[in-house]
Structure 1
């Protein structure tokens, strides 16, 4: 897990709060293995959500989902499969979500959350 003093750590903390307020259970933070890292893993009812947290310091006109290139999608899928293989309980449904966090100086943080981005 990133220390909360870093931008990534601040963004992760905000997204964890956002997800728990929405009724999701956080299963893992910054889970790493040899092939990659997943920012957050959460349970939403009977769905396991693998959440990529994207942090920016200013608002842009880019579509946040474009931050996940095809190579990044492949790496996230491989990493998710390794995490799932290590779990004792069976899993049935998964999805890949994106949390876009803007941490601009002197402004309130903005969170946009997208489910099933790929």
Structure 2
């Protein structure tokens, strides 16, 4: 059995809790638009509901579900942190002029980093099944 699934459930609970804290702190730093800061607290709730429901529906072991949850919680800040100032600038430009488009460089980074991270998480998950 691969290493991540050989950890006990209690260790995975601690890892998921740590990933939640990392997400909450990092997203407060990344999101610099006041009206969206409070909405970031919903991300762990949505993750728990979505991945918990998926885990129950597919009869996944709790460590596997916690692995996916922790990965998703860490992925979001990793994707957005490098382009946080661009995202903020684009938002305020869009507020002034709704025809303003998002910066292509930021969009390329977000999409490509998401694909790389989802692939890595998927490979890790598949290795553990």
Calculate the TM-score normalised by the size of structure 2.
0.33
What TM-score do the two structures reach when normalised by structure 1?
Answer: 0.35
Larger helix fraction of residues: 2
Question: Which structure ranks higher in relative contact order (CA pairs < 8 Å, sequence separation ≥ 6)?
Answer: 2
